[in-house]
Amino acid sequence: MGDKNATESILADAAGIARAAEILRSGGLVAVPTETVYGLAARADNEEAVAKIYAAKGRPSFNPLIVHVRDAEHARSYANLTGSASWLAELEWPGPLTLVVPLNPDAGLADAVSAGLPTVALRAPAHPVMRALLEICEFPLAAPSANRSGFISPTSASHVAASLDERIDLILDAGPCEKGLESTILAVREDGSWEELRPGPVDLDALHRHYFDRGLERGASGNSIEAPGQLASHYAPGKPVRLNAERAEADEFHIGFGAVAGDCSLSVSGNLAEAGSNLYACLHEATGSDLPRIAVAPIADTGLGKAINDRLRRASA
Ligand code: TXA
Ligand code: MG
């Protein structure tokens, strides 16, 4: 990070991926595309490299990181992946599902990755660039979203640059992220029950219905486990945000959805998948506008709408 010039952003082709792997191998920081949001990657087996993530983001040390792996078999080198965690990983990976499972303390992950917890968050991402990177790296990648702590997650290389320029070594640019919302986080307990820690692109209600006959027991959604980073005020766009706004005031930038047109629209046709993928780009645009406040049209609170409304509530807190 000694370099004080602007962080270079390069195309995520084979040469770009090879260069990123070299930087990561020597303990540097690279912003990488995933199907959810851009992640800020460092090798997860090296304390110094992981410490750089916390420093670049200004992230509190108690907030643990997600470790990105190739597949379920790779995950088993770092965690106790048994019962429902095991078949969820086999069936849902690669994809936007993060599993919080018991950490294998002898696995060689940097202590800071799990922030002292007895569990670790693992995910095998589906994005071809991130997958190619994990194939050529002989180490797993710790990667939180590639934004300064507390701000909106990045869904494009330019969002990353706006937040972390000069603080990281390289940005791999593969265009906008498909899902646009951070992964669903699921804690799987040793008795096989589970708890949703963060709603996301994988709809756990649908998953539960789909795999019900496999004997998956769903745990009560209580407060026994919390995702330490899920603070009420998060994803802050830097301006007051008003939700469920059919109409905007004169001083509000209006984010529309469906029949509510707005200054930009999450989805003109009212499609929730499209809305998820556009959410952070619209919030970034609203942040950059001259208007001092933001209003957001109502979004149906079903399926992916639950994850979108979760992020909007945090943006408005
Ligand atoms: O889609 C994603 O998940 C993206 C991409 C880059 O993979 N990553 C991401 O990371 O959103 P981050 O750091 O912004 O969010 C990770 C969340 C945090 O809220 C953190 O507290 C929680 O995961 N977490 C990590 N390890 C945990 C653990 N052992 N127990 C409970 N929560 C954990
Ligand atoms: Mg984040």
| Cα 197 to middle of ligand 1, angstroms | 9
- Measured in whole angstroms, the distance separating CA 37 from the mean position of its chain's CA atoms is 5
Residue 190: per-residue pLDDT: 79
- Report the nearest atom of ligand 1 relative to the CA of 32: 6
The more confidently predicted of residues 55 and 219 is 55
pLDDT digits (tens, 9 = 90+) for 128-138: 999 999 999 99
Task: Identify the CATH assignment for 3-211 out of 3.40.225.10, 3.90.870.10, 3.40.1410.10, 3.40.220.10.
Answer: 3.90.870.10
Instruction: Answer whether 197 contacts ligand 1 (Cβ < 6 A).
Output: yes
**312 vs 5, which has greater pLDDT?**
312
- Own/partner contacts of 45-48, CB < 8 Å, gap of 24 or more, are 45/108, 45/109, 45/110, 45/139, 45/140, 46/110, 46/139, 47/110, 47/111, 47/112
Ligand 1 centroid distance, CA of 271 (Å): 26
Show me where the domains of the chain are located.
3-211, 241-316
pLDDT at position 251 over 90: yes
User: Is 7 within any annotated ligand binding site?
Assistant: no
| Residue 84 annotated as part of some ligand binding site | no
Q: Is 149 in the pocket of ligand 1 (CB under 6 A)?
A: no
Q: List pLDDT tens digits, range 109-162.
A: 999 999 999 999 999 999 999 999 999 999 999 999 999 999 999 999 999 999
Please choose from 131, 145, 153 the residue to mutate so as to test ligand 1's pocket, defined by most ligand atoms within 8 A of CB: 145
Give per-residue pLDDT as tens, 198-244: 999 999 888 887 776 565 555 544 444 456 656 666 678 889 999 99
* Distance (Å, whole) CA 198 – CA 227: 8
Least confident segment among 21-25, 170-174, 199-203, 204-208: 204-208
CA of 53 to the centre of ligand 1 (A): 13
User: E strand or H helix at 188, and its extent?
Assistant: strand 184-188
